Amino acid sequence: MKKILAIFAVAVFSLCGGKAFAQRCLPGMSAVEIKANMADGFYTGKSRDCGYDLGVFYSVFTGNHGNTWSFGGEYLQTFKPYG
């Protein structure tokens, strides 16, 4: 029990104490984001009554003031049965 309490105390103090750091946005840096989401339910393998969302985004950091150019696209496929 003492070991678990000590581990918990170290975890709490490491999360709450110290400095906060942020990502630096240096000129010329770039980032790519790829995402995939489920829509209209969750695919379980038994039915295909679900939709999905796919996206790709590209960001470029320019200048010294944190200016950002972002380009991207998304595709959404939904399932709407005739009722």
Q: Can you tell me the mean pLDDT for 6-24?
A: 70
Instruction: Classify residue 67: in a domain, yes or no.
Output: yes
pLDDT tens across 31-57, in order?
899 998 887 766 666 556 678 889 999
Higher pLDDT, 34 or 2: 34
Whether 6 maps to a domain, the answer reads no
Does 4 map to a domain? no
Structure tokens given for 19: 């400095």
Reduce the DSSP state of residue 83 to 3 states and report it: coil
Domain containing 57 equals: 23-83
Q: How far, in Å, CA of 72 to CA of 38, rounded?
A: 19
| Encoded tokens for 18 | 């110290």
Q: Which residue has the higher pLDDT, 83 or 71?
A: 71
In a domain, 27, yes or no: yes
Say how many domains are in the chain. 1
pLDDT higher than threshold 70 for residue 19: no
Which pLDDT score, from 0 to 100, does residue 62 have? Answer: 83
